[in-house]
Structure 1
Amino acid sequence: MEKEKSQGNLILLVEDELNIAKLFQYNLSRAGYNILLAANGKEGFELASKNKPDLIISDIMMPEVDGFEFRKMLLNNPELRNIPFIFLTAKGEEDDILKGYDLEIEDYIIKTASPKVVIAKVSAVLKSLEKERIKVVDEVQKAADTMGTRVVPDEFPKFLDFEIKHWHLAYKQIPGGDFIDYFNIDENHLAVVLGDVMGKRWGAWYFAVAYAGYVRTATRFVLESTKNFKPSEILNKVNDSVFKDERISDVFITLSIILLDRENNIAKYSGAGDLPIIYKNSEGEIKTFHSKGLLLGFSKEGTYDDLEIKLNSKDQIFMITDGFTESRNQNGEMYGEEKLLKFIKSIDPNADSLEQLKNEILSYTNQQPEDDLSIIVIKKL
């Protein structure tokens, strides 16, 4: 794998013939694109999972995993299926072309095409997506304004013996994607909810506000109709509702729920396809809590469980969406979970933890994150 340094879109090029790969890499990088190289579909899938490129260009005839199988692997992955895809081929055969379009690709590029044609096709695909984005941004903002929709509360919740703060930055000012909510069950119990509607293509963003509202309504219903304050029960009931609803069957949602119990100084946590939550005690030691629960709506049985955290004075819990860990710097390097853990460990306990995290990721991305950014910090006073 090689990577060119520029400030353009990130393109994953999957090609087993080194000379062709180098030629395309040279021409595309000269045009201002960042290029990742993979030698086959297996390696391409690994790089796509790790880097979330803006566009994938793949050969068809390759060893181990060919282009068609690689494309099917992407389509079966909810995080990767909507990344724009172009087939690279030495053939112009009708059967190959039709098979490719059946796999929802954007276009074909013939390997012998001139550099100008290659750049023109890549540029056309990316410009088309940008026009779609601009249209969707306008429509979503109008819809959100009309409905008075808020995906993030304007104020922090008040809960005795705890300090709870959040920060949310919408990607390119598009409402939707991540959502945050708080539910005051009673004076001793508070539910903290962090969700993320998955999907990189702008069509998914268009419905993100509605999906967030749907999940929040379902969660509120469960909280109001049960005395069993277990986050896993909430997730099971919300998942059952989402799984049965055909309107959102193609959209997957990650959800983290923490129930705070101030009487017993306990936080109960359960998650659906989310990032681990991070616990930091007053001595500066950190621990991650991983949920094994599946994405909401992915399966009828979500296999959600509860994890319990005993809280002492000055202990903190961090809830963060993947927009943070998957952020890239100007060299195209992802921030990653390992770096996040190191930074949280280094946070000054006498300063505002939320502000430190906010400044860290904005500095890393040069104020240009590529996804929604959401953070919730819970501190036991």
Structure 2
Amino acid sequence: MNKIILLVDDDIFQLRLFEKLLTSNGYNCKLALSVDEAESILESETPDLIISDYEMPGKDGFEFRRRLLTQDSFKNIPFLFLTSVNDKENVQLGLDLKAIDYIAKNTPPSHILSKIDNLLQAVREHYERSLSEIKGIAERLNLRNIPKQAPLLKKFKIDYFNQSFDNQPGGDFIDFIQINERFTFIVLGDVMGKKWGAWFFSFSFLSYIRSAIRLCVYDDNYSLREILNKLNRVIHDDELLSDIFSTLGIILLDDQSGSVMYSGAGDLPILKFNQKLTELQSFKSDGILLGFSEFGNYSEMEIPLDVEEELYMISDGMIDFEINGEKKSDINLFKEKLFNFKQNKETTQAIKNRLFDKHISQVDDCSIIIIKKV
């Protein structure tokens, strides 16, 4: 996805010159002729860089910068001042407002591009170092919302793949809870929200899910319906999670009988491939999002699965895509694509490579769990 740069200047000619220069070099530009227009754009867009003129009628660039610094959502966006006035007083004032640098309007285009490229590269490298440090701490604390490997079972083969959005931790979580040689629970959830906030809360949901399953199993209770109902009531009463909701799909595999039980809370349908049919089958739960209401009234169902047939658990990122900057969702399109892969006898790894192609525009975390009867 191209980097977004917000350009703010009351001179439309200057804006168009910068837009032409930057778009021809791979950037996506948003133009604003005033601070008010810029703030309106920020209501729906979060740019990677803001370049603003110093001098504008009404609210000037300095006031714009001061206003951004008071808002947590925008204060850390890299900011450059654009000016035709190259005096030390204005430059210092801009730097005192935590602007990273300034660009004089008469700077040669090649120098402008180099400055912007180098700036964004430095920001990216700093972010990646910070992300690496946080991931390292999470690993040392054993904080993981995606397991390292799937359990090995006799009657089932499990594969799973996860790709976070924009290389940042997100709200999708996967877990395999193997109770004994016979029973294994498979969990796929998606905490509402994006990136770090959703990632943080995913551990709370996972902790509750693991505890609810263990407590029920201790009483020899393997009912997914009862597990979800108990889990939902606890999450609903948790003040920390009172405004945080999550989808959840949960499957119980019986490695002795080969049966598959399923229950869900606001999740996407479980999909099934049967070579005798002309499309993927869907098994839809009727449960609402976890924590949304005190009483979820969840149900459960058995999904018939014969040898060589497959089930697919997916998060909503698998069916989301972007067209002209607008997010779309189409599960039928995904079902058709996946069915064609299977009809063409593509391997699981090949399907994974096709679904998680880095050249395909991604708008959310993407997760899929494949359960094959063997």
Deviations 1:237-283 (A, max 9, x none): 22222222222333222111011234554322111121111012242
Q: What residue ranges of structure 1 are gaps of 5+ in the alignment?
A: 1-6, 12-24, 37-57, 60-66, 75-81, 85-90, 93-102, 108-115, 117-125
Residue among 305, 315, 319 paired with 2:299: 305
What is the distance in 2 between the residues matched to 1:228 and 1:106?
49
Residue among 279, 285, 291 paired with 1:291: 285
2:200 counterpart of 1:200 = no
Contact 1:256–1:271, Cα closer than 8 Å, also in 2: yes
- Structure 1 runs (4+) greater than 6 angstroms displaced: 25-36, 129-133, 329-333
Q: What residue ranges of structure 2 are gaps of 5+ in the alignment?
A: 6-18, 31-35, 49-57, 60-70, 76-102, 104-119
Give the Å deviation of 1:340: 0.9
Distance 1:252 1:140, change over 3 A: farther
Residue among 205, 224, 237 paired with 1:231: 224
- CA RMSD, Structure 1 to Structure 2 (Å): 5.4
Pairs within 5 Å for 1:165-184: 165-175=159-169, 177-184=171-178
TM-score, length-normalised on structure 1? 0.63
Give the Å deviation of 1:148: 2.5
Contact 1:254–1:274, Cα closer than 8 Å, also in 2: yes
Pairs within 5 Å for 1:214-225: 214-225=207-218
Name the residue aligned to 1:267: 260
What is the distance in 1 between the residues matched to 2:23 and 2:231?
46
AA aligned opposite 2:147: P
What is the distance in 1 between the residues matched to 2:202 and 2:137?
9
Name the residue aligned to 1:257: 250
Name the residue aligned to 2:148: 154
AA aligned opposite 1:158: L
Secondary structure of 1:302 counterpart = coil
What is the distance in 2 between the residues matched to 1:214 and 1:253?
13
AA aligned opposite 1:154: K
Give the Å deviation of 1:134: 5.6
Contact 2:174–2:188, Cα closer than 8 Å, also in 1: yes
Name the residue aligned to 2:203: 210
**Bigger Rg, which one:** 2
What is the distance in 1 between the residues matched to 2:148 and 2:201?
19
Name the residue aligned to 1:321: 315
2:365 counterpart of 1:375 = no
Secondary structure of 1:240 counterpart = helix
Name the residue aligned to 1:358: 352
Contact 1:140–1:174, Cα closer than 8 Å, also in 2: no
Name the residue aligned to 1:242: 235
Distance 1:277 1:33, change over 3 A: farther
Contact 2:3–2:47, Cα closer than 8 Å, also in 1: no
Distance 1:253 1:335, change over 3 A: closer
AA aligned opposite 2:141: M
Name the residue aligned to 1:99: none
Identity %: 33
What is the distance in 2 between the residues matched to 1:304 and 1:155?
29
